[in-house]
Amino acid sequence: MQPPSNFDIKIQKRNGQIIEFIPHRITRAIANSFKEHSGLPRESELGVEVMKNAQKVTDCVVAVLKERGIQRPFLTVEEIQDEVVRQLYENGYKEAGERYAGYRRYHSERRKLFELYSVIKRDGKVVSFKQEKIALAITKALIAQNKSVYNEILIEKARELTEKAVCEIRKRWPDGKSIHIEEVQDIAEKVIMAAGYHEVAKRYIIYREDRAKLRRNRGHVKTEESIHQTGVLIINLGTPDSPSVADVRKYLREFLMDARVVDIPFWRRFLLVNLIMVPFRAPESAKGYRELWTPQGPPLKVYGQKLEGLLQEALGEVFEVKLAMRYQDPGIKSVLSHFKDKGFSSLIVIPLYPQYASSSSGSTMEEVMNVVKGWEVVPEIKLISQFFDHPLFIKALVKIGQKYMAQERFDHYLFSYHGLPEHQTSNSSGDRYCYQSQCFETTRLLVNALGIKKEDYTVCFQSRLGKTPWIKPYTDEVIKQLPKRGIKKVLIFSPSFVADCLETTIEIGVEYKKLFLEHGGECLQLVESLNVHPAWVECLKQLVLESRRTIEV
């Protein structure tokens, strides 16, 4: 089985990043699995025979992977690791295969902890949760108590106590948390005591006190200025100031004059928007906004303001959360000016569009960069361009959908996404940033989680504008055809919208429902957007914490 020598394997990491495949890394991991301990020794300590056997297994792995990769753009990390285990067993290295599988389980658990938890230090800085830090502190206490040196027995004891501490943390906060460092240390101390290592616990307390004295001597005192270190900017599309025709006209003009939304030369866009699109659309859109408007204001802004407060509460005092709108108020420029005045060391920007598109996420991020490029001091900035496949985003949508599926038996399920002109998807570079591909992937994850069969759902696209071809199939056309197939009850999701707005409440909930009934349907039920659902707040919280960790690295 000889693959072409000029074929390069690409790997998709768990975060979606595509990287080059480097066989030597596999060889090192395989060589390490031949050892009886779980450390990572230097190559010189592994031995020539071990490295030779590891290279033999690597060659087998590479041959199989290249054979698979000929027909595919990339392979996943999981596929590669599965093949390593298989080749270890097939080549007669059963114990090494078991050790390698054990390393995978350990690192999988470590990644979960990394995603779920972070630690707030005494100076207010948020850092990654690393159980190795707990193990190191416990090991030092064991060494001090036993008056011995670093050895395998102490390492094993420390590992055992650390695992118990981690179990206690997961038991206490199963959904994740930003934990203060004192809470982590208190838990470790209690676990040591509960295990009967009373003298070790005393040494651990002394170790904590010594570290506290050292910090005081260095002047590590928490100040008001150090409490808020990171600004978090969540940005949605925007809404008119009122449902009046004049305010709707103002909003539409700003929105449609965006070169990423109507991507034609400026003079043509100016004439089209100001002489045709806005004059004809504003009165009709104003009717929809009047129907949508609540006593508190437009739902998009009302939910956005509530989300701002809930996310602030979830993240704590280390972050400051602000809501902005791409168009109209509160504007991106004014909110960023607030962050600038505060002098934050870093900013995390989350456009509230799950799937990336140039006209939504791209436009929003471009506006952010246009504002900050004029600052004398530009802080570290993390832009979250998409989260269409984030597990907590999917989980939040599933929870809301399950509520309706438990109440009614539906004949069919629609997943309706905001449409785009076809030419705005064909220019995308790779599937990761192709809007249409992202929509299909979101749907795949949702139907798998909800247990919906392939023949029982349809992906479609709504809200088309103008006469140019948009992504098909169109939601309104699909809805008209469903009753002809005997489909009378439909549940419709709108996974490209995170807050209820004109496109969900009015376009789907009123107009599409009327259309469905007129063509012989009986029930079209809209699944409301995420709005301020607790699982959605948790998703955003984790996006922020994950981003904060990448900034620190």
Q: Do residues 461 and 446 both lie within one domain?
A: yes
Domain final residue pick, 189, 218, 247? 218
Q: Which residue is it, tokens 């199989």?
A: 64
Closest CA to 420 of 439, 435, 440: 435
**How many Cα atoms within 13 Å fall on the side-chain side of residue 338?**
15
- Measured over the CA atoms of residue 502, residue 505, residue 509 and residue 510, the dihedral's sign is negative
Please state, in angstroms and rounded to a whole number, the distance separating the CA atoms of residues 404 and 302: 24
| 235 and 307 housed in the same domain | yes
Residues 375 and 420 in one domain: no
pLDDT at 490: 97
Give me the CATH number covering residue 273.
3.40.50.1400
Q: What one-character-per-residue DSSP string does 472-513 give?
A: SSBHHHHHHHGGGGT--EEEEE-TT-SS--IIIIIIIIIIIH
Q: How many folded domains does the chain comprise? A: 4
> Residue 363 falls within a domain, yes or no?
yes
**Residue 196 burial by Cβ neighbours in a 10 Å radius (0-12, 13-18, 19+):** exposed
Same domain, 412 and 508: yes
Residues 369 and 434 grouped into a single domain: no
Closest CA to 291 of 501, 494, 499: 501
510-512-516-518 Cα dihedral, nearest 10 degrees: 70
Residue 334 forms part of a structural domain: yes
The model's pLDDT over 106-130, given as tens digits with 9 standing for 90+, comes to 666 666 655 666 777 766 666 667 7
Please check whether residue 2 lies inside any domain of the structure: no
The pLDDT value recorded for residue 45 is 46
pLDDT at 217: 58
Residues 301 and 434 in one domain: no
**Does 515 lie in the same domain as 440?**
yes
pLDDT in tens, 61-80: 888 877 776 656 677 777 88
Query: Which residues, in sequence order, are bridge partners of residue 179?
Result: 119
**Coil vs helix vs strand at 233:** strand
Domain with 99, as residue range(s), is: 10-113
Of 348, 367, 386, the residue that ends a domain is 386
Q: Does residue 462 belong to any structural domain of this protein?
A: yes
pLDDT at 226: 38
Q: Under DSSP, is residue 173 helix (H, G, I), strand (E, B) or coil?
A: coil
Structural domain contains residue 553:
no
Shared domain for 352 and 290, answered yes or no, is yes
Whether residues 364 and 459 fall in one domain: no
Same domain membership, residue 381 and residue 400? no
Which tens digit of pLDDT belongs to each residue from 295-340? 889 999 999 999 999 999 999 888 999 999 999 999 999 999 999 9
Are 259 and 359 members of one domain? yes
Mean pLDDT, consecutive 10-residue segments, the chain of 553 residues?
A: 48 66 78 58 55 85 76 73 86 84 70 65 68 74 63 70 81 74 82 80 72 57 51 96 94 94 92 93 93 92 94 89 95 93 90 95 95 89 94 95 94 96 68 86 95 95 88 96 96 97 95 96 96 95 85 52
DSSP state of 456: G
Give the pLDDT score at 433: 80
- Same-domain status, 60 and 98: yes
Residue 291 placed within a domain: yes
Taking a C-beta distance cutoff of 8 angstroms, is the pair 540, 369 a contact? no
Cβ atoms of 85 and 103 closer than 8 Å: no
Torsion region of 531: left, alpha or beta (phi above 0 gives left; psi -120 to 50 gives alpha)? left
The last residue of one of the domains, among 349, 364, 386, is 386
pLDDT recorded at residue 148? 55
Q: Is residue 224 part of a domain?
A: no
DSSP 465: -
Element (H, E) at 250: helix 245-256
In a domain, 506, yes or no: yes
